[in-house]
Amino acid sequence: MNARSLTLEGTILTEQGFIKGELTIKNGEIASINRSDTQSNELILPGFADVHNHGGAGFSFPTSDQEECAEAARHHLQHGTTTLLASTVSMREPELLPQLGMLAELAQDALIDGIHAEGPFVNACRCGAQDPAAIIEGDPELFNKMLASAKGHLRSITLAPETANVEKLIDACVEHNVIVSFGHTDASYEHTAAAIRYARRRGAKVTATHLFNAMPPLHHRNPGAAAALIEAAARGEATLELIADGVHLADSTVDMMLSTVGAQHITFVSDAMGAAGKADGDYMLGALAVRVRDGVARLRTEGGEEGAIAGGTSRIIDQVQRQLRCDRPLLQVLQAATTGHALLGKPSVLREGAPADVLQCTEELELLQVFKRGQAQRH
């Protein structure tokens, strides 16, 4: 369905909060939002944003071909994610640059909103499910090649604050409008705080790559990178990625962060790999073999024991529904699921004149329809 004009009725999430009314879509934009006495109990919501996503539907953004990557992007769109960054992993230059070029074509075709490079300038001792052999010190020359290959569509990069040449890399991020996302790090509180201060002075947008994962645990005598990032978010100087799937973070940890930092400084991310939306089984994340069991992805090891958590298998809609089951406030959860739009300069609320990226849901947050620029995505 490609509706040039369509009116949705129900409880609409606007800049002023929830209202009962009608939202009219025309020519791909929200033409009007008006109060009414509608009897519909449906929820009309902004689409979700996911700025850290490695794939889905059996396909992987770091390694799959163009049509397979398009299918992964469509999978997340059909499940409510209307803004998506396709994430790579730490890869060697001969594999990384062509993949960035291919993903840039998907961005040019508006199938994704850009690219997130998770590495290779991170700390191998906190590699998580990254290939340590592909991790290197910060290399401004390679970063320039990455920017060129991505053709203006590299929107975010994960850096360890302690990587070599980090200030030069931050400067290049500012010049090319790339989000500086600190993560996969063993840096101290002081080192991380200094990197955040430098990035903010230079005018960079700062995020934390999947906070608490792939960094030292928070400790009262050695607070580490996590504390510096949380502190920056509390000041409004950073946005924290949380994988709110109950696997990467305990639900109580998500609750703590929403309550202390505020949903406006948090963005739910899936960190999804190819198994998102698929059954348990064997998959790949970059060059690494992954086994999914009971919905949890872990690296496969030669000895058969469980390895590190290897990305997520949830979509943002799954995380939203989970947090609502944990009795989180609806507005708080929806804000964390839509903060990522603003990171990319897009509206994070429904308002007249904005692109019609709209979700039509039941009261229980079950998806009925997804609209991307007014075009229905669920058939």
Give 79-104 pLDDT, tens digit per residue.
Answer: 999 999 999 999 999 999 999 999 99
Sheet strands side by side (includes 375-376): 29-35, 17-26, 5-14, 43-46, 358-361, 367-372, 375-376
In total, the chain counts a number of residues equal to 379
- Separation of alpha carbons 121 and 145, rounded Å: 14
Give binding residues for Zn(2+) as ranges.
Answer: 118, 184, 210
Can 5-41+352-376 and 47-343 be said to share one CATH topology? no
Give 277-334 pLDDT, tens digit per residue.
Answer: 888 888 877 777 888 888 888 888 776 667 888 878 999 999 999 999 999 999 999 9
Quick check: helix, strand or coil at residue 350? strand
CATH 2.30.40.10 given to domain 5-41+352-376: yes
Residue with tokens 């609409």: 12
Token pair recorded at residue 204: 């960079």
Burial (CB < 10 A; 0-12, 13-18, 19+), residue 63, is buried
- Separation of alpha carbons 162 and 143, rounded Å: 16
- 271 among known catalytic residues: yes
pLDDT band at 212 (very low <50, low <70, confident <90, very high): very high
Q: Which of 113, 271, 318, 357 is catalytic?
A: 271
Give 147-166 pLDDT, tens digit per residue.
Answer: 999 999 999 999 999 999 99
| Cis peptide, bond prior to residue 120, ω within 30 of zero | yes
Classify domain 47-343 at the CATH superfamily level: Metal-dependent hydrolases (3.20.20.140)
β-strands 59-60, 288-293 pairing: unpaired
Which 8-state DSSP code applies to residue 218?
P
pLDDT number for residue 112: 99
Give binding residues as ranges.
Answer: 118, 184, 210
Token pair recorded at residue 341: 């739009």
Q: Domain residues of the chain, as ranges?
A: 5-41+352-376, 47-343
